[in-house]
Structure 1
Amino acid sequence: MGGDRMADFDALFDEYNDKVYGLAYRLMGDRDDAMDISQEVFVKIFRNLKAFKGESTLATWIYRIVYNTCMDELRRRKIKQVSIADKPDLVDDNISVEEIYEADERKKAVHNALYKLDDDQRAVIVMRDIQGLSYEEIADVLQCPLGTVKSRLSRARFNLKEILKDYMELFDEVDV
């Protein structure tokens, strides 16, 4: 294996590692699963990088590999993932314990609600609202028409708000 290919892969890994893990984590709902998926994705990228033809952006190609790998694993399991909420981040002294608790409860509520959506709806919410992909990039990743992405996202947001209605007191001052 040539040194240039390895250097290219190392640079690609450095640039996309956090993005791959973040998408896998939000689609799978578990840190260990996300780590396993991330490793599997980078093996696939390494093996198939020569086959990348530039028909989409490199980022879109990578997101498609992450998405497909996660969906394959979820289909294989055919079980709903149980979420593991993050612990509150380290915060400054100006934030009260109550604010930390409420922020943690909001995070848990959204995280749990995401895993009540079906896989396709969760995927579009994660890619658009959490990962910040454009509609066009999502359409490329999912290999579906732009209109399908927009309608799925609209339905997913509606369903997410419905699920979160029971928790609205947590979101009084937050734009959901």
Structure 2
Amino acid sequence: MPEAALTGVSDDATLAARVRDGDIRAFEQLVLRYEGAMFRLASRMLADRAEAQDIVQEVFLTAWRRIGQLQDDAAFSGWLYRMTTNRCLNVLRSRQLPVDADPDAAESPRVETRPEHAAQVNGQLEALTAALGQLTPEQRACWLLREVHGRSYEEIGEIVGANATAVRGRIARARAQLAEVMQPWR
């Protein structure tokens, strides 16, 4: 494969096809493209950065090993989201304990220089992280995929193995629960 072929922006389908043929550079491009999003999803679902890093490494290793099982090269991103979400759900189910809030798990927002504003924003983030931990793992996954990662209801349904109606219900319940918990911050 000529170097010039990988210098331009390739779509997921093209890169996935190249990975299927053993092209490591194409896989590196896909990792660079999706590593941040998968880490953000896993760290918010698990509230544990180290565990999230482990999950993301496992997901990409699995993707490399099982790329031949991907039926539609254009569905690569959905496949990654599904693997990441399922691994996180498995971890959460195995814990069988509520996820403790970890303010370090969320990305730091841009804050103004006023200390009182920074304290308020940090308090809101801690409250949101704690509220997310009170949702069921399935609600949390659906809410994060919709609100943070901008996935459609149909995509989320494919990722979590539910129909779009069930996804809408989970998101609606998550929104209602989060709105109630976050009411003091309005």
Q: TM-score range by the shorter chain?
A: 0.7 to 0.9
**Which of 124, 136, 140 is the aligned partner of 1:118?**
136
Q: Aligned pair in 2 of structure 1 residues 12, 101: CA closer, same or farther (>3 Å)?
A: same
The 3-state SS of whatever aligns with 2:23 is helix
Structure-1 separation of matches of 2:22 and 2:97 = 42
**Which of 108, 116, 123 is the aligned partner of 1:105?**
123
Residue 152 in structure 1 maps to residue 174 in structure 2 = no
TM-score, normalised by the number of residues in structure 1: 0.86
**Which of 26, 46, 56 is the aligned partner of 1:28?**
46
Letter in 1 for 2:145: M
Unaligned runs of 5+ in 2: 1-18
Q: Equivalences for 1:6-155 in 2 at 5 Å?
A: 6-54=24-72, 57-86=75-104, 88-89=108-109, 91=111, 95-155=113-173
Whether the 8 Å CA contact 1:30–1:83 is kept in 2: the answer is: no
Number of residue equivalences = 166
The 3-state SS of whatever aligns with 1:57 is helix
Letter in 1 for 2:174: A
Q: Aligned pair in 2 of structure 1 residues 25, 88: CA closer, same or farther (>3 Å)?
A: closer
Superimposed CA distance per residue, residues 46-88 of structure 1 (whole angstroms, 9 cap, x where no aligned partner): 1111211118721111100001111112222222221210385
Structure-1 separation of matches of 2:20 and 2:75 = 24
Unaligned runs of 5+ in 1: 172-176
In structure 1, what is the equivalent of residue 14 of structure 2? none
The 3-state SS of whatever aligns with 1:83 is coil
Structure-2 separation of matches of 1:118 and 1:139 = 16
In structure 2, what is the equivalent of residue 174 of structure 1? none
Whether the 8 Å CA contact 1:56–1:140 is kept in 2: the answer is: no
Offset at residue 107 of structure 1 (A) = 0.9
Coordinate RMSD, CA, aligned: 2.2
TM-score, normalised by the number of residues in structure 2: 0.81
Offset at residue 4 of structure 1 (A) = 4.7
Letter in 2 for 1:66: T
Greater mean alpha carbon deviation, residues 131-140 or residues 109-118: 131-140
